[in-house]
Amino acid sequence: MTGERFKVAIVGGGIGGLFTANALIKQGLAVTVYEQAPKLGEVGAGIYLTPNSVRHLQRLGLESSVKKYGARVGADSRYYRHDGSEIAPVQVTDSSGWNATFGMHRADMIDLLAEPLPQGVVQTGHECTGFEQDGDVARVTFANGKVAEAGIVIGCDGIHSALRPVVVPPSVPVFSGSAAYRGVIARKLLPDWPADVWRMWLGEGKHFLVFPLRAGTLLNFVGFVPGDTEIKESWTAPGDPDLLRKEFAGWDQRIEKLLGHVEQTFRWALYDRDPLPTWTKGRLTLLGDAAHAMLPHLGQGANQSMEDGMALATILAGVTRETAQAALVAYENLRRQRVADVQLGARKNGLRYDSIGTSISDRDVEIVAHASFRKSIYDYDVVREVARPQ
């Protein structure tokens, strides 16, 4: 074994898995990513990158790619009431004033993270069907008959994780009571729409969000509306553009004008999971949505996955088979409460946006005050936290 690089198997080739692969390779570990789909890709629309993850993309030498693929969100971003009257500015910087907030298409994010990986690191067509471990070896089995052996296995396989039940008893998805219509349209259809603003309109029981993608050439829209538990937990269930227009009829004319150009939309049921009591079992740990599926109301799903990946890579620097399990426990201890706070904060923020349990005027006051919570998220540097005495 002398001189052989420590092997890590990552199950799942989404944003969390690919980011973690880059971070681990930078630490000198031997990494293989096993993705169940026949090829890498994302059918989702936009994600929002914030300073707490962009600083780690910067550390991996990917900041120029973020600027190339993304659309920086600027200081003119605003919250509005449903009629277009202004509530408050949007927090787009950390406390130092660093503006590292970007709209990013999910497909572009996958490309950005896959491109630097050496040939052969990503193995597609591998659907995880089982896990076992004994001594210093962990094994993952796949539907195609392959078996992967490694010193550590990381479950990055999303909200429907096949590996999560190995770690904790099956958890029930928690339905938020809301659904989201989402999609993208070309900004050239709305030439008066700025290329660098994040805008959200807040009403009673629903809200509407727009932010830019691809250097401002695309607009990502999400209309959050009351839902029902019959909607399946899916990114790709088709939505009816006419029903979407009906949901926001009578709102700010900017929304009505945008929705007039929508020809296709997807309807996405909003589920999360309660915070898990543990993420780790021996040589297996969970990361990203597999560990902490969250609602989108803080825009932190992908950002927290990348924080996880950077934390894990930093802790695993110099890992051996003898120290691997203790390192995974240290990773969980660092991350679990931080992410639980963000998960529960996203739930609370969704209720705030829709004025559930509060008056419109009180909500507006809370929206103004909410900037300080955003700063606390954006200021967090997981590398600094790893170095802090625990």
Angle at the Cα of 225 from the Cα atoms of 220 and 226, rounded to 5 degrees:
155
- Residue 192: CB partners within 8 Å, gap ≥ 6? none
Tell me if 48 sits within 8 A of 147, measured CB to CB: no
Q: Residue 49 and residue 265: Cα distance in Å, rounded?
A: 22
pTM reported for the whole predicted model: 0.95
pLDDT of residue 42: 66
- Residue tagged 């050239």 (tokens): 188
Q: Mention every residue, 6+ apart, whose C-beta is less than 8 A from residue 343.
A: 272, 273, 275, 292, 294, 295
Q: HSE-up of 169 (CA within 13 Å, CB side)?
A: 1
pLDDT of residue 86: 97
pLDDT at residue 231, as a whole number: 56
Helices (H), the chain: 15-26, 51-59, 63-69, 106-114, 164-167, 241-247, 253-259, 289-292, 301-315, 324-353, 360-369, 371-379, 382-387
**Interatomic CA distance for residues 250 and 227, integer angstroms:** 20
- Tens digits of pLDDT across the chain (390 residues): 345 789 999 999 999 999 999 999 999 999 999 999 888 876 668 999 999 999 999 999 999 999 999 999 999 999 999 999 999 999 999 999 999 999 999 999 999 999 999 999 999 999 999 999 998 999 999 999 999 999 999 999 998 899 999 999 987 888 899 999 999 999 999 999 999 999 999 999 999 999 999 999 999 999 999 987 655 555 457 789 999 999 999 999 999 999 999 999 999 889 999 999 999 999 999 999 999 999 999 999 999 999 999 999 999 999 999 999 999 999 999 999 999 999 999 999 998 998 888 888 899 999 999 899 999 999 999 999 998 876
**Six-digit token pair at 221?**
């829209």
pLDDT for the residue numbered 260: 97
Domains of the chain with bracketed CATH: 7-71+107-172+274-354 (3.50.50.60)
Separation of alpha carbons 52 and 386, rounded Å: 14
